[in-house]
Amino acid sequence: EVQLVESGGGLVQPGGSLRLSCAASGFTVSSNYMSWVRQAPGKGLEWVSVIYSGGSTYYADSVKGRFTISRHNSKNTLYLQMNSLRAEDTAVYYCARDDYGDKGAFDIWGQGTMVTVSS
Amino acid sequence: DIVMTQSPDSLAVSLGERATINCKSSQSVLYSSNNKNYLAWYQQKPGQPPKLLIYWASTRESGVPDRFSGSGSGTDFTLTISSLQAEDVAVYYCQQYYTGRVTFGPGTKVDIK
């Protein structure tokens, strides 16, 4: 079965760090474009970061310099390292497969993991 | 970044009636070399992740009922639900993937009248 399962969310103080994981099954993370998308409570979708199959990475301006996307090929897992967290980073974080070669859109999504930044 | 806008913010439609959602991009998302519009539509129900409905502006994802259709080109797009069902109550988002820094519209909430 093709699926993505996120983990690692939780409550963290402002200025703290957290690492999110996204375990994939049924397809190979390193052969695909993979993105993180977040959704603040009651708000819309915001793209956060992408890692291309070739390894290039890109970030939204709101997280550039604070967040790092990476992957572990043998674990078939995507990561998002989040540092210097702010209250405005509070959101559900989804990982998604970007089917760039065929549909071009995000065709597989995880269930999401909640990150709360609060003192 | 390309800015996506949607209208209306919300709409209520009777069961079996048509629902129409509009999406506009701040610049064209039509790639001239392949004549494809880099525009997708997603459905999100409460407590669930988004689900891909439409890609390339008008291609229905596998398993999506044919009452959902997408149209438009360039900067103006439409998602139509031809006969609203109770299970279609959700928020609908458009997304451009013309640029690597994808952007989403603010969403349109669809309810039953």
Phi and psi at residue A64, to the nearest 5°: -60, 135
**For range B19-38, the mean pLDDT:** 97
Nearest to A58 among B40, B55, B101 (CB): B101
Give me the DSSP letters along A84-106.
S--GGG-EEEEEEEE-TTTT-SE
What pLDDT, on a 0 to 100 scale, did the predictor assign at position A19?
Answer: 98
pLDDT band at residue A101 using 50, 70 and 90 as cut-offs = confident
pLDDT tens, A16-45? 999 999 999 999 999 999 999 999 999 999
Asked if B103's CB is within 8 angstroms of A47's CB, the reply is: yes
- Write down the mean pLDDT value for chain B: 97
Q: How far is CA A103 from CA A15, A49, A108, B39, B97, in A?
A: 38, 19, 11, 10, 10
**For range A82-105, the mean pLDDT:** 95
What pLDDT, on a 0 to 100 scale, did the predictor assign at position B100?
Answer: 87
pLDDT tens, A43-75? 999 999 999 999 999 999 999 999 999 999 999
**For the ranges A103-107, B38-42, B109-113, which has the lowest average pLDDT?**
A103-107
Asked if B38's CB is within 8 angstroms of A44's CB, the reply is: no
- Which of A50, A97, A98, A103 has the most B C-beta neighbours within 10 Å, making it the best mutation to test the interface with B? A103
What pLDDT, on a 0 to 100 scale, did the predictor assign at position B38?
Answer: 97
**For range B81-102, the mean pLDDT:** 96
Angle in degrees, CA A9, A81, A23, rounded to 5: 65
pLDDT band at residue B72 using 50, 70 and 90 as cut-offs = very high
What pLDDT, on a 0 to 100 scale, did the predictor assign at position A20?
Answer: 98
What pLDDT, on a 0 to 100 scale, did the predictor assign at position A36?
Answer: 98
Q: How far is CA A39 from CA A43, A113, B8, B14, in A?
A: 6, 10, 20, 29
* Among A residues 49-68, those touching chain B with beta carbons less than 8 Å apart: 50, 58, 60
Cα separation, B82 vs B69, whole angstroms: 8
- Please state, for a pLDDT cut of 90, what percent of chain B lies above it: 99
What pLDDT, on a 0 to 100 scale, did the predictor assign at position A66?
Answer: 98
What pLDDT, on a 0 to 100 scale, did the predictor assign at position A100?
Answer: 84
